[in-house]
Amino acid sequence: MSDQAPRHGRSVARILLVVVGMFGFGYLLVPMYGLLCEVTGLNGKTGRIDEQAVAARYTPDPDRTVTVQFVANKNQDMPWEFGPTVTEMKIHPGTVYATSFNARNPTGRPMVGQAVPSVAPNLAGRYFNKTECFCFTRQTLEAGEAKEMPLRFIVDPALPRQVHTLTLAYTFFDVTGSAVN
């Protein structure tokens, strides 16, 4: 029996090491996935970039026109009114554009919301770059408050030629309970 005690101890230590490793890996999956999506454009995630640096790097393509559609959604628990000021823009890749979305909190209490963007088709996500976006930070609206939220973006001229229409969609979520001020 004394022979088995050290083996059981080693087995328990190995199992605990595996459990800790699995927990750590699971904990890191969410930020790693977010980073992967940001870098590659997977899942329609788009990156925040330095507008002047990127605009200087791109040569606008005045001969090519791409349609950008703007869509606003709300999570079923989000009571805000939310929508784009324009639903569609004709743009030339390589040029910086600006538009905005409007949000209003019709409730009688302050709320915090977070917008999550996506771009369709997924292939186009890596070519759509937001330089200013309300999705970068949580939005706090007091009871009855309305806010215009700016969006500035540039589409990389390397966008594949077969892509003629991009759809930028936002879904707003109520994060009031999880907001840390």
Same domain, 94 and 31: no
Banded model confidence at residue 10, pLDDT cuts 50, 70, 90: confident
Banded model confidence at residue 41, pLDDT cuts 50, 70, 90: very low
Beta strands per DSSP E along 15-174: 66-74, 81-84, 88-91, 96-104, 111-120, 128-133, 139-141, 146-155, 165-174
Same domain, 82 and 171: yes
66 class by beta-carbon count within 10 Å (0-12 exposed, 13-18 middle, 19+ buried) = buried
What pLDDT score was predicted for residue 94?
93
Same domain, 32 and 111: no
Same domain, 80 and 1: no
Same domain, 89 and 150: yes
Same domain, 102 and 140: yes
Same domain, 30 and 55: no
Same domain, 30 and 99: no
Looking at the DSSP assignment, which residues form a beta bridge with residue 107? none
Banded model confidence at residue 59, pLDDT cuts 50, 70, 90: confident
- Domain range enclosing 102: 47-178
Side chain identity, residue 150:
P
- Strand ranges across the sheet with 111-120: 88-91, 66-74, 165-174, 111-120, 139-141
Residues whose CB falls within 8 Å of the CB of residue 97, separated by 6 or more in sequence, listed in order: 68, 89, 91, 152, 153, 154
pLDDT at 69 over 70: yes
Rounded CA separation 133/44 (Å): 15
Domain count, the chain: 2
Same domain, 6 and 93: no
CATH no. for residue 137?
2.60.370.10
